[in-house]
Structure formats: C-alpha cells, structure tokens
C-alpha cells in the first residue's frame, strides 16, 4: 500500500497511546500488508502482525516495537526510532533492512525462522546504522545473515547467529561492530555451504569477510563450523580483506567435510593478502579440517601480488593452532610458481606462536617475514608424510624467531631459497631452527645457492636410517658467520654440506653420527675469511669424524 507520505498511525493527539493491529488473513497466515512511504508516530507500545514498511519512518516513545509475521518482514529504506526495545520476527520469509536504520534504547532482536536477514547501507560512505544505547543486538537466522556497509553499536552484547540444517552463510562486508560493555559474537553452523558471487567468480564459503571490517568489545568471538557435506571454506577472507580487532579475540574455524576439494579448509583467504590488525587484547586462532588443510590461502596462476596473511600487532600477542586429519595443518605455499609472496607476515609489537599439524605436512609457506616485528616468533610444525615446516622461496626473518619442525617420514624443517624476489641470505639474529625426522632424509634441509647464516642456531636430528641431521645442498656456497650448527644422525652424516662451506667469527659446527655415517661431510672446500673462535667437531662411531672433499 503506497501511503504517498501520509501517516498510517499517529497518536500524538490521543490520550490512549500505542498501536496494536493484526493484518494477517485466516486462510493466508503468512501474508500481510506492506506500507510504503508512510510514517508511524506512537507514544506507547506498538505490536503488529503481518505488517511491513518500506521507505518509511517509525517513531515510538515510551514503548516497544514488535513485528511478528508468519511470512517475511520487509523494512527496506525504513528508519525505526524506538524508546524501548525492537523485536522483529519473520516466520517463513526474510527480514530485509536494505538502506534502513534502527535506533533503540533497549534490546534489538531480529529473527528469521526460515529465511535470511539482510542489512545494508547505500555504500561504504553512507552506511546503515543499528544502535542500542542501553541494550544489546541479537540477529538469528536459520539460513543466512548478510551485513554490508553497516555499523552496529550497542551497550551490551552484539550477537549474529546462523544455525542451518541445510545451506547457511554469514557474510560481513565493510561493517563495524562495537559493544561498549559486552561481547561481540559471530556464530555459523552449517551443514552445507552456498557459492556466493563476490567478485567475477563464485567462491564457496560459510562465514565470509570482504572489504574492511572492525570489531571492538571486551571479548570478540568468531566461530564458523561446517559439517561433512559442506564443500568449501568454513571461514573465508575475500581478496584484500582487512580485519580490525580491538579486544581479546577468539576465532574458531572447523571444517568436517569429507570430500576431495582443495578448498575444504577451516580458515582461508584468496588472492591478495588478508591483513588482520590486533590491539587491546590477544588474538587466538583455532582452525581444523578433516580432508583439507586447516588454514589455506589460494593464489592465482601468475599472481605476483602478496597473498596469505599479514598480522599487525599493537602490544598484542598472536596464537595460531591449525590441525588437519588428512592434509596439511597450514598451506600457504606457491601454486605452480604462481606467487613468491604467499605466507605469513608479522609486524608491530607482540609475540607470535604458530602451531600446524597434519597427516601430510605441518606448515607450508612460500614467505615468512618478521622484519618489522618487535617480539618473538615461534613456529612449530608436525608432519606425517611431508615436512614439519616447509618454508620455501622467500623466507626472510630476523630477531627472536624460532622454527621447530618434526616429521615421521620426511624432513623436519625444509628451507628452500630462490629463484624468488628476496636475497638468498638468512640473518638468524639469535634465532633458532630445530628439525627432527624419524625416517626422512634430514632433520633440517636447506636448499639453494650462495646462502649465508648469521648469528643463530641450527639443530637437526635424523633418528634412523640414512638421513642426515643438517643438510645444506644446491651446489653453491654457504657461509656461517657467528652461527652454531649441530647435527645428529645414525647412518647418515650429522652435518652434510653439498658445496663450499665458509665459517667465520666464532662459528661452531658439531656433527655426530651414531651409526655408519660421518660426523661432518663437506663435498667442496672448507674455508675461513675472518674472525676467530671457530670450532668444527665431528664424531662418528664408524665413519669419519670430519670429511672434506675439497681444500681446507
């Protein structure tokens, strides 16, 4: 019904305040009336059934607003200003608040039993506003919630909840959520995942962040769960997404899909790098997957723009725990030479702890950068048939970094350099790299040419077979400057260098072979350019202590 700007209800001149009306039909309980271009002015409670408003203004003083519809509850282009609480219910349809606003003193509750909830502003500059000055905001849908270009502000808790027995999605784009005294909770639990077209193609995701989104609360909880029939990411960051977190934050992403798609991951990003800014609290990320990687980043073929994740800490700490039953814990590597900048970047002030474990590999990176971080970084990877930590192409870190990798059947820690865009040197700056392998070729395997190591420790162990403790290979030159390398093996070499080894300035090299291997094996020359206090010790039960094929 187009009201042409006329009021549908106004009790300003009446002593009896408030409005109660049922617009449903007995034979059509899910139908009702939608009023366009109208206004409501009430001085008491307003309780409506089977009613909707578009391009309208509803103002209530000294009362609450209740809209209880058996079908949808359209509120497109409508502004609700309520002195009490707001309760909108759609039984068999959706709640649409496109280009609308809600301002209330009490709690705001929107609930769609069999439909979706959509709240959006006109654009990134003109946003929808959902505000509760003394209460909280609660959105519940059994299908989907989509928030785009919107601001949420409440005194108490803000909660968005999607629990779907079929396909459920929770989309957040260019939105802010601020609770002044409570928590902010986003929760998705879905049996299947819908494809959502967000750029030029469709991507399967359950909870999807796009654009720049901000959260501020005492506690921020973001949870995305999907079951065995959900083909896609449980939580997906769209290309170039930015997430601002102010307050202690817990992110939980779990994918129980039993399919074979590569993107059946708990948490993921695609294309351009995701940036997560953390302040006024620590960030805890827990990701798990059954058939896919717990954390996965997709990069396009030929892509040179940075991919993966960048964390900027403002006096905050970061904790990541990723586990996959059948694949990798964390997969942020290159795809067919597509990118040299997919991985993890840490900046700001704070400490970082990352743990990845999988039946294949633990942590796979094509980039690790900590050059702008004031804090310590601990990466722990546990692999089965692949490496515990595989950091290849562009590993650049300095100061307070510790890598610890272990694998049952492969290398504990694999570091591969070149032909990427970074220099082939590793300035450990007091950092530690430790790798162990039960049945693989090496505890630590470093591949590349013209690689230097400065000030730090490498400790590698191969517990059985012909594997070596520490292997430097690639047929190039390797320089140790103030570094300490310790390797232990059985029938392999404690330390094996395939090329020329230069040791300078107090470098300590210790190799131990408990079986038939050599303590230290150098296939090229062993030389010293500068400094003193250099120590090379090789111990072998039946092989050579130190074996150098070239000049010394």
Q: What's the Cα-to-Cα distance from 260 to each of 12, 327, 352, 357, rounded to whole Å?
A: 64, 11, 32, 19
The residue whose two tokens read 């639990």 is 189
C-beta separation of 58 from 11 below 8 A: no
From the list 493, 502, 426, the residue with the least C-alpha distance to 460 is 493
Residue 505 has which token pair? 């300035």
Cα 145 to Cα 6, 59, 220: the distances in Å are 32, 26, 18
Query: pLDDT of 444-453, one tens digit each?
Result: 998 877 777 8
**DSSP labels for 113-181?**
SSSEEEEE-SSSSS-EEEEESSS-EEEEESSEEEEEEEEEEESS-EEEEEEEEEE-EEEEEEEEEEESS
DSSP 8-state secondary structure symbol assigned to residue 37: S
Predicted local confidence at residue 361, as pLDDT: 96
Cα 241 to its chain centre, rounded Å, is: 11
Q: What is the pLDDT of residues 460-511, one digit of tens each?
A: 999 999 999 999 987 678 888 899 999 999 999 999 998 899 999 999 999 9
Q: What local confidence, expressed as pLDDT, does residue 339 receive?
A: 46
- Here the tokens at position 1 are 């019904």
Residue 42's CB is within 10 A of a number of other CB atoms, namely 23
- Give the count of beta carbons closer than 10 Å to the beta carbon of residue 68: 18
Does 466 reside within a domain? yes
Query: Would 428 be classed as within a structural domain?
Result: yes
203 inside domain: no
Tokens of 536: 């090379």
8 Å CB contact between 490 and 517: yes
**401 found inside a domain:** no
pLDDT tops 70 at residue 421: no
| Total of domains in the chain | 1
User: Contact at 8 Å (CB) between 456 and 432?
Assistant: yes
Q: Does the pLDDT value for residue 84 go beyond 80?
A: yes
Cis peptide leading into residue 419 (ω within 30°)? yes
Q: Does 456 fall in a domain? A: yes
- Does some domain include residue 198? no
Q: Which residue has the tokens 């299947």?
A: 192
Residue located via tokens 């094509």: 366
In a domain, 541, yes or no: yes
Residue 490 lies inside a defined structural domain of this protein = yes
**Pairing mode, if any, of strands 212-226 and 195-197?**
unpaired
pLDDT in tens, 32-48: 899 999 999 999 999 99
User: What ranges in 377-513 are assigned the alpha helix state H?
Assistant: none
pLDDT, one tens digit per residue, over 357-381 is 999 999 998 878 888 999 999 999 9
| Boundaries of domain holding 460 | 423-552
Average pLDDT over every residue of 96-103: 98
Beta pairing partners, 80: 58, 102
Task: Identify which of 513, 499, 509 has the alpha carbon closest to the alpha carbon of residue 543.
Answer: 513
């Amino acid at each position: 019904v187009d009201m042409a700007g006329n009021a549908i209800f106004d009790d300003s001149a009446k002593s009896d305040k408030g409005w109660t009306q049922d617009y449903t039909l007995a034979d059509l309980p899910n139908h009702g009336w939608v009023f366009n271009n109208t206004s409501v002015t009430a001085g008491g409670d307003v309780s409506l059934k089977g009613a909707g408003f578009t391009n309208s203004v509803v103002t209530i003083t000294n009362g609450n607003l209740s809209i209880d519809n058996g079908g949808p509850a359209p509120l497109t282009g409508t502004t609700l200003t309520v002195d009490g609480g707001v309760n909108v219910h759609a039984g068999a349809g959706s709640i649409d608040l496109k280009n609308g606003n809600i301002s209330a003193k009490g709690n705001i509750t929107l609930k769609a039993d069999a439909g979706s909830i959509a709240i959006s502003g006109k654009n990134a500059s003109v946003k929808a506003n959902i505000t509760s000055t003394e209460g909280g905001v609660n959105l519940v849908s059994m299908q989907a919630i989509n928030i785009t270009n919107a601001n949420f502000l409440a005194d108490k808790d803000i909660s968005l909840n999607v629990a779907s027995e079929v396909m459920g999605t929770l989309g957040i784009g260019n939105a802010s959520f601020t609770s002044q005294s409570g928590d902010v909770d986003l929760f998705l639990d879905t049996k299947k995942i819908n494809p959502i077209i967000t750029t030029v193609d469709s991507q399967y995701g359950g909870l999807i962040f796009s654009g720049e989104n901000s959260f501020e609360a005492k506690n921020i909880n973001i949870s995305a769960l999907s079951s065995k029939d959900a083909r896609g990411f449980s939580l997906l960051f769209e290309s170039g997404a930015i997430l601002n977190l102010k307050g202690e934050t817990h992110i939980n992403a779990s994918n129980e899909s039993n399919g074979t798609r590569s993107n059946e991951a708990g948490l993921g990003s695609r294309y351009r790098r995701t940036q997560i800014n953390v302040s006024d609290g620590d960030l805890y990320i827990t990701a798990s997957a059954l058939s896919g990687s717990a954390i996965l980043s997709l990069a396009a073929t030929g892509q040179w723009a940075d991919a993966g994740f960048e964390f900027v800490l403002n006096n905050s700490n970061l904790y990541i725990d990723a586990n996959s039953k059948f694949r990798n814990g964390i997969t942020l590597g290159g795809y067919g030479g597509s990118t040299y900048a997919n991985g993890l970047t840490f900046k700001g002030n704070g400490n970082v702890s990352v743990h990845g474990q999988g039946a294949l590999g633990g942590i796979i990176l094509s980039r690790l950068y900590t050059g702008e971080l004031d804090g310590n970084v601990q990466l722990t990877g546990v692999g089965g048939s692949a490496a515990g930590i595989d950091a290849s192409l562009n590993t650049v870190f300095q100061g307070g970094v510790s890598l610890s990798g272990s694998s049952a059947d492969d290398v504990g820690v694999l570091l591969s350099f070149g032909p990427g865009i970074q220099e082939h040197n590793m300035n450990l700056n007091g950092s530690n790299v430790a790798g162990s392998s039960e049945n693989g070729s090496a505890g630590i395997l470093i591949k590349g040419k013209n690689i230097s190591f400065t000030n730090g420790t490498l400790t590698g162990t191969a517990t059985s077979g012909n594997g070596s403790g520490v292997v430097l290979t690639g047929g190039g030159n390797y320089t140790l400057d103030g570094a300490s390398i310790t390797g232990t093996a059985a029938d392999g070499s404690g330390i094996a260098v395939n090329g020329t080894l230069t040791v300078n300035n107090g470098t300590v090299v210790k190799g131990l072979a408990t079986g038939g291997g050599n303590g230290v094996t150098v296939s090229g020359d062993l030389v010293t350019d500068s400094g003193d206090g250099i120590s090379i010790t090789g111990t072998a039960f039946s092989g050579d202590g130190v074996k150098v094929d070239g000049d010394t």
